[in-house]
Structure formats: C-alpha cells, structure tokens
Structure 1
Amino acid sequence: METTARRYDIDWLRVIAIGLLLIYHAAIVFQPWGVFIGFIQSNDSMDSLWIPMSMLNVWRIPLLFFVSGMGVYFSMRKRSWKQLLTERSWRILLPFIFGMLAIVPLHQFIWQDYYSQAISYMPGRGHLWFLGNIFCYVVLLLPVFYYLLRKPDSLAVRFIRKVMTHPAGALMVALLIMLETILVSPQSYELYAHTWHGFYMGLLAFLFGFLMVWVGQPFWDSILKWRWLYLASAGILFGVRWLVFELQPPLYLFPIETTAWIYTVFAFGYRYLNRPGQVLKYLSKAAYPVYILHMVFLYMGATFVLPMDVPLLIKFLVVTLISLLGSLLVFELFIRRTWLIGVLFGCRRRPVNNYKVPAPCISSEGN
C-alpha cells in the first residue's frame, strides 16, 4: 500500500475520532464537574463512565492533531504554499470565525436558558478551539513542511527519516511530548482546550502526523510489524495509571501512554481500515460539519432528556443519539445541498466556468 494513494484508513480514523468526541462530550453531561466547564449537567452522575473516559483522554484529541497534520501532507502534493493557505483559510479559518459568531453563542443561549441565566450574546471559541489551533499550525509549520519536501537529501531530512522509520522512533515522539509537558507543567495533562499545553502538544502531534505520511511506506511497515507491542504497552501503561496511581500518575508518564495508544491506533487502522466504501464516503463528508454543530444538539438533547424519569444509561444513550442524528440531519438537509451554507461549514470549493463555488461537502482534511 503506497502512501501516494488515497489512505482510507486515515479517513476512517478521522471519522472515528469525531465519533469518540461526540460520545465523550455526551458523557461529560453525566459527570459531577460538567457544569464547571460550561456543559449542562445531570443531577445524577454516572461514575462508571469515568474509567473509559480516562482511557480515551490521553489520545483522543492528540489523534485529531496527528490526523490533521497528515491531511496537510496530502493537500501539499498538489498545491503551492499560496494555494494551500488559501484553501485552509476557506476550510478552517472561515468555519472557525463563523462558528465563534454563530454556533458557539447558540449553544450558550441554551445553557443560559436551562440555568435561568440572563440571555446574552457570547461569541467565543468554545469547542471550536481546535480549528484555531490547526490554522496556526499550518501557518507556523508551512516553511518546515516545504523544506522537507524540497530538500530530500539534506542531512537533517535523512536523519528524520531514519529516526521515524526505526522501531524505537515512537520513543522520540514520546520524549518530545514529555519535554513539552515538563516545561509547561499543566495543571491537568488531559486539559487541552484553551491551554498552552494543548497548543504546544497539538503542534508536536501535527508535526509528527505530517512526518508519518511524508516518510512513507517504511514507517507504516514498521508500526505494522510492532503493533502488538504498542498495544500491550498502551494497555499496561493505562493499567498502571488506573490501578497504581488512581488515574493521577506523574506528568512524565502521560506522554509515553499517549504515544503508545497513537501508534497502536495507526497501526491497526492501517492493517484493517484501509478500504473504501459508501459508508466511509458519506461519513467523511459529514464529519467536519457534525463536529462544528454537535454541541448545539447535545445541549438541546440534555434539556429534553435530563428531566425525564428514566435510567441514567437511557438518558446518556438518548443524549448521544440526539447530538449525532440532529447534526447529521442538518448536514443532509442543508449543508450538503446548499453551497453557501456548505462553505461556512468547511466544504470545498470547485471552479465552475470562471467562478469559484463550493463543491459538495467532502472529507475535511484533503486526504
């Protein structure tokens, strides 16, 4: 499998990461600290959700940064740096600004109404902080990426290739993330949103995601060979974090577990998910708009479901479904079919005659 061909496993991992994000956000509604980070919160908690949430916490957001870096590599194969910046401005910066002004205030209205607060217009990054970070990374790392592509025989490039394709290359990734974590010393490793730790860690993940596909086949052959070792390492490290440290280990242990999970996910994804299909084709188009929209329907679902006298598990499942299906419905009825709305939600443009208009919504990262 050549990395110059379309990588369906990366498309799948993007879709899966967005799906996990929706489920995780629905689970926050049923945690005792949800309201402190701006979520509508159930009066009763589901403590059983915290263990799987903790397992996901160390790699679900880093995975999105890795995948986004990979997407930039695929986009750069057929674009100049000016074209790439223009394309990323339309597909990341514009939806980010639109979301801050229109989507985030909408779910803030729902929160204010639920808690009987004064209704006020509150634009902000909210859950869309990720898009702002990604656009910054593109601007900051673009010179590095083009250097790697145009100087394949330089000493630095040969060194990076050698390290990335070595089985112990994962240790370099872990050590650099560890260095970032130690230097920044975040209050909580898993708190990525609106923090410098999240920004710098995301920058490293974005860079290494690019390197993984830039290096090419030798990297993927290597992680495929060692996938069971990565999986065992990730499982053991999570077990130690849970059973020995009660989910609060020293900060330096988190990056090692993060890297082990990331390499595990990419290796098994490459092995089993690199296949096309109609389901993937549709979900790849929907993932980005669903990510932008889902908090509105999550809050709507919470206001509708939480007052009901039904088991907590049923409430959790219904809130999750409302978040997902509501977002998909808006995507299907409006975003996918209306070019102007599609642009605001990150759908590509295509040339028609002498003008540029958006194409039907497609995969969000250019793979």
Structure 2
Amino acid sequence: MKFERRHDIDWLRVIAIGLLLVYHIAIIFQPWAMFVGFIRSDALMEDLWKPMTLLNVWRIPLLFYVSGMGVYFAIRKRNWRQLLLERSKRILLPFVFGIIAIAPLHLFIFQGHYKMPLSYYPHAGHLWFLGNIFAYVLLLSPLFFYLKKKEGGRFMRILKSFMRHPLGPLSISVFFVIEVLLVKPQLFEMYAETWHGFFLGFLAFFFGFLFVYSGKVFWKTMLGWRWFYSGLAVILYTVRLLVLDLKSPDYLMALESNCWIFALFGFGYKYLNRPSATLSYLSQAAYPVYIIHMFVLYAMAAIVLPLEIPVLSKFLAIVTFTGIVCCLLYEFIIRRIGFLRPFFGLKWRYKQNVKVLEKSS
C-alpha cells in the first residue's frame, strides 16, 4: 500500500529547528544568559527577546506534536517490534551518543571561554527532547497499536466528528491548562528536564498522533479556520506583551501555544504540502543539525563576541556562521562517513540517501 507523504509536516519540523537555532543565539545577548549556561555577550540586546517570547510558547510543543504525528506514519507499515527497533536506532542511539560525546563539547567551550578548569561532564543538555520522545514511544505505543487495529471503528468516528468543528481541536487545550494548574511550572516556557516539559510534551505527542489518526477532517478544519486560530493567537500575544508585561497566566499561555500551532498547521497544509529537492535535503539535515548546533553556536560566540563590531553585527554573524558551519559539518562529515551516520539519526548507508534526493529532484 502506498501512503501519502506529508511534506508540510516535514517543513514545519525543519522550520521549528531553524527557529530554535536563532532562539538559542538570542539568549547570548540577554543579561541572564549565564544563569542558563550560555556564554553571554557584554553588549546586550534585550529588545531582541520580545519577538523570542512569541516563539517560546510554541516552538518546543510544535516539535512534540510533529513527533507524535511521525509515530502514526511509522506504525502504518511497522509492527511494535519494528517500531521500537527503528526508534531505538533513530532516537535512543543519538541520545546516548549525544550525552557522552556531543553535549559535553559546549561545556568545554564555555569553560575555556571563561578560563575555568576543564572538566568532562556527560549530560543531556539540549538533547533532553530526545529522551522525552523515546519515553513517550515506550509509554504510548501499546495504545497507538490498539487504535491502529480499531481504525474505522466507533472511536475514530467520534474523533472525526469532534475534529470537524473549529473548537474541537482547540478544546484539547483544557488538558494543557490542567497540566499547568497541577504542575505549577516556574515558567511556562521552561521545558528542558522539567516535569512540566515532560507532561506537556506527553500531551502534545499524544494529540499529535490523534490528529493525523482522525484523517483529513482535521486538516480541513486547520485549513478552513487558520485565520481564526492565528487571530486568536495574535490577540493573546498582544495582551501578554502590552497588558500583562509578558507575564500571562500559564493557562492563557497554554491556549496561546495551541492557537499558534494550529495556525501553523493550517497555513502549512495550504502552502507547504508539496515535494521538493530542497525539502528532501533539509528534512534529512535537520536532525543532525539539531544535535550539533549547540557546540557550534558556543564556538561561534567565543570567536565573534570579542570582535570590535556593533552588537547587531555580532548577532547576525553568530546566526550566519553557526548555520554555515552546521551545514558544512553535516554535508562533509556526518552525511558522508558511514559509521557516523547512525549516531546522528541517519541510515547507515549514504547511497540510499543520495537515491532519495535524486528521485525527489
């Protein structure tokens, strides 16, 4: 059976990872950067954080939604053993390798930049996301395979009916509101290695699966009501920015987060669901770039920040050179050296990847 490839979901994943890179670089220019383990610029750009506050309520939840959707596409042609083996290779192996060999690198750079004693400290760092995803696969795959067996049954019919109404998908925000009320996170956007991040990710992963499980009816709702979701998101962000001084209650942040994400699903479905050679390449590159981007970012910060140039030029230079170096490392090392590929979530054989790219172009 031939299944439809959802190119818009691939694009959203690529875009989210690209924005994550910019977001992390923006932290360097904030006064509190060192408190979260980042190299800090002496010259600050605090106004830069205002647009980042728009991103930080949906950038990570979006990736969890998309990851849940990916599991639905995966189980259409895999049994549970094949799924766990595939996810172990693609997620668990890079996660463990990253803890040992990748995440400690940016700590070395941080220590060297501030002339601290060098010490080796294996840690998850920015790769915490992978550990969460693998845990969700283990916890939810029995339910997902049960739903797969019951596809076309009563639950799916009820779900489809629910997803036809614009408030149907939006009503799942109730669960996200309950999560923040119970967990009481210190900050809504503090996802890394927190219970808030774990439970929020669990919900987004689960509902991401259900959204694609419900079929095209969900996407038609996203498409038809994309302006409604985006308008509501803009209103909530405007209130957060201008009225509440960026200190919205967590329950409003949860609603705003889902509004932005549903708007992205709608616009992505309309404009991005088409194949291209560029997407084929970037969708392969996004995961390895995500894994390596932090130590590259730290290295570029250590090189650029001492330069006698305007602070905006420093920001743009770090963004530009981090992107270039990550792409070069991917293209000429990670992608082409066979034994390295599995450690970055790629298939062992490089030639398979080339054939896919040739076909897509």
Bin for the TM-score computed over the shorter chain: over 0.9
Q: Which range moved further: 183-192 or 3-12?
A: 3-12
Question: How much does 1:136 deviate?
Answer: 0.4
Amino acid across the alignment from 1:277: S
Give, in whole Å, the separation in 2 of the partners of 1:360 and 1:29: 35
Residue pair 2:341, 2:348 contacting (<8 A) in 1 also: no
Instruction: Give the CA deviation at 1:358.
Output: 9.1
| Cα distance in structure 2, aligned partners of 1:53 and 1:177 | 21
- In the other structure, the counterpart of 2:317 is 318
> Post-superposition shift, 1:146?
0.9
Please give the TM-score of this superposition, normalised by the length of structure 2: 0.95
Shift of 1:151: 1.3
CA contact (8 A) 2:296 2:322 kept: yes
Letter in 2 for 1:29: I
1:354 maps to which residue?
Answer: none
* Paired residue secondary structure (1:41): coil
1:136 equivalenced with 2:132 (yes/no): no
Of all paired residues, the percent bearing the same amino acid is 54
Equivalences for residues 254-269 of structure 1 within 5 A = 254-269=253-268
Offset, 1:153:
5.0
Counterpart position of 1:186? 185
Listed as ranges, the gaps of 5+ residues in structure 2 are 357-361
Instruction: Give yes or no for contact 1:301–1:323 (8 Å, CA) kept in 2.
Output: yes
Partner of 2:167: 168
Q: State the number of aligned residues.
A: 355
* Map of 2:292 onto structure 1: 293
C-alpha deviation, 1:160, in angstroms? 2.9
Q: Are 1:339 and 1:359, in contact at CA under 8 Å, matched by a contact in 2? A: no
Match of 2:199 in 1: 200
The whole-number CA distance in structure 2 between the counterparts of 1:160 and 1:148 is 12
Q: CA deviation at 1:21?
A: 0.5
How much has 1:115 moved relative to structure 2?
A: 1.1
Question: Distance between the aligned counterparts of 2:14 and 2:63, measured in 1?
Answer: 10
Give the Cα separation in 1 of the matches to 2:15 and 2:355.
Answer: 16
Note the 1:169-248 alignment, pairs <5 A: 169-248=168-247
Q: CA deviation at 1:251?
A: 1.6
Q: 1:120–1:358: structure 2 CA closer, same or farther, 3 Å change rule?
A: farther
Structure 1 contact 28–39 (Cα < 8 Å) conserved? yes
The more displaced of 254-263 and 160-169 is 160-169
> Match of 1:338, as an amino acid?
I
**Residue 353 (structure 2) aligns with:** 360
Preserved contact between residue 160 and residue 217 of structure 2 (Cα < 8 Å) = no
SS in 2 for 1:360: helix
> 1:324 deviation in Å?
1.3
Corresponding letter in the other structure for 2:167: A
Counterpart residue identity of residue 32, structure 2: W
1: CA distance, partners of 2:192 / 2:58 = 14
Amino acid at match of 1:314: S
Match of 2:58 in 1: 59
* Residue correspondence of structure 1 range 25-64 to structure 2 within 5 A: 25-64=24-63
- Structure 1 counterpart SS, 2:188: coil
Which 10-residue stretch deviates more, 52-61 or 163-172? 163-172
Q: Which runs of 4+ in 1 moved over 6 A?
A: none
Contact 1:295 1:323 in 2 (8 A): no
Which whole-Å deviations, capped at 9, do the CAs of 1:142-198 have from their partners, x for residues lacking one?
A: 011111111135544433333233211133221111111111010100100010000
Judged with a 3 Å threshold, the aligned counterparts in structure 2 of structure 1 residues 153 and 281 are, in CA distance, closer, same or farther, namely: closer
Residues 342 and 361, structure 1, Cα contact 8 Å, conserved in 2 = no
Equivalent residues of 2:156, 2:214 under 8 A apart = no
The amino acid across from 1:249 in the alignment is: S
In 1, the alpha carbon distance for the partners of 2:72 and 2:311 equals 43
The whole-number CA distance in structure 1 between the counterparts of 2:312 and 2:354 is 34
* Structure 2 residue 274 is matched with structure 1 residue 281: no
Cα separation, 2, equivalents of 1:289 and 1:314: 27
- In 2, the alpha carbon distance for the partners of 1:82 and 1:343 equals 19
Task: Note the 1:151-166 alignment, pairs <5 A.
Answer: 151-152=150-151, 154-166=153-165
Given residue 360 of structure 1, which amino acid in structure 2 is its aligned partner?
N
1:338 matched to 2:331: no
Separation of aligned partners in 2, 1:4 and 1:332: 29
Unaligned segments of structure 1, at least 5 residues: 351-356
1:353 corresponds to: none
- Alpha-carbon spacing, 1:361–1:338, altered in 2? closer, same or farther (3 Å): farther
Deviates more, 1:149-158 or 1:250-259: 149-158
| CA distance in 1: counterparts of 2:145 and 2:157, whole angstroms | 15
Helix, strand or coil at the partner of 2:187: coil
Contact 1:170-1:259 within 8 A present in 2 as well? no
Aligned amino acid, residue 325 of structure 2: G
Q: Residue 18 of structure 1 aligns with which residue?
A: 17
Residues of 1 paired with 2:107 and 2:301: CA distance? 13
Query: How far apart are 1:322 and its partner, in Å?
Result: 2.0
| Aligned equivalents of 1:50, 1:362: Cα separation in 2 | 42
Distance in 1 of aligned mates of 2:262 and 2:59: 12
